[in-house]
Amino acid sequence: MWTSTNFKTYEKQFDFTSSEQGKPTYTALKIDDTDFINMIEGLDGEIEENQIFQTILCSSCGIYHCEPGNWVALRQSNNFVFFIPAFEELHCEQNQSEYAPPNWLRQKGSFWLTKADFEKIKKLVPEFDKQKSINSITKYELLALYKSETPHKMFGDFPDFKPLRKNHVLAVSELDNETAFEIIDSKLKELENSTEFEIIPLTENDKVISVFLDDSSTTEWNAFCKTGNNYELLLGGTFKIIVK
């Protein structure tokens, strides 16, 4: 997962001559060095009731839903707003390319903002400002997000998740491997059976438990943490998942 307040808009010209629309200019939203939304005006009235939307529209015509992919779901929990894969739609579609997430999400993970920073980005994206409230993240989405955000695809690919790939774990800080596996498994089952949960940020008093992986690109996974006498799953190594 990642976050940034380095967002700005700029004018971006497109070539729509193949669809006889000339070369119009739209407003794009850039976060860091990434085009987060390529046509802000193209979102007008297009965010659906379940608050999923296409971030990158067809560069040849600008028509919503013309090209597959680049979809995210807008969700909130406590004082945070998340841009996550459209898990429900992905699960229902036989062709998962239709609602596939954008490149920036596949490469860097889901994006999050504090609600205060989301208020700032709403001033740049009118369609966000039209949303009276943000849908809460569901248990199904949270479980899928936790497993999807693991490095080295430790649970396989959504939606066909598999048991934790224990053979890719070299060692665990503070605990032996089997104890760590049991904690992760039990906390996931606890979340699956829960009726209430929340996502809260780590504190300096929490002790992160690192899982070291047999992988050349990513060697460490912050899978969970110890808070007092309890263990809690870590979402993207940043947020604790608390089951009430």
3-state class (DSSP) for residue 34:
strand
* Residue-level pLDDT at 94: 67
- Bond prior to 68 in cis (omega within 30° of 0): no
| Separation of alpha carbons 52 and 31, rounded Å | 19
pLDDT for residue 18: 84
Any idea which residue has 């829960």 for tokens?
A: 194
Kindly report the number of other CB atoms within 10 A of residue 222's CB atom: 18
| pLDDT single digits (tens) 123-179 | 999 999 999 999 999 999 999 999 999 998 999 999 899 999 999 999 999 899 999
Every domain of the chain and the residues it spans = 7-137, 150-243
Q: Could you tell me where the DSSP H helices lie in the chain?
A: 87-92, 103-108, 115-122, 126-129, 139-148, 177-192
Helix, strand, or coil (residue 111): strand
Half-sphere exposure for 85 (CA within 13 Å, toward CB): 32
Cis before residue 159, ω within 30 degrees of 0? yes
The reported pLDDT for the residue numbered 49 is: 86
Distance CA 148, CA 108 (A): 12
Identify the pLDDT of residue 19. 81
- In contact, 232 and 242? CB cutoff 8 Å: yes
- Mean of pLDDT over the chain: 93
pTM here is 0.93
CB 180 within 8 A of CB 211: yes
What sign for the dihedral angle of Cα 180, 186, 189, 191?
Answer: negative
Residues of the chain with pLDDT under 70: 94-95
Closest-CA residue to 141 (of 241, 55, 4, 47): 241
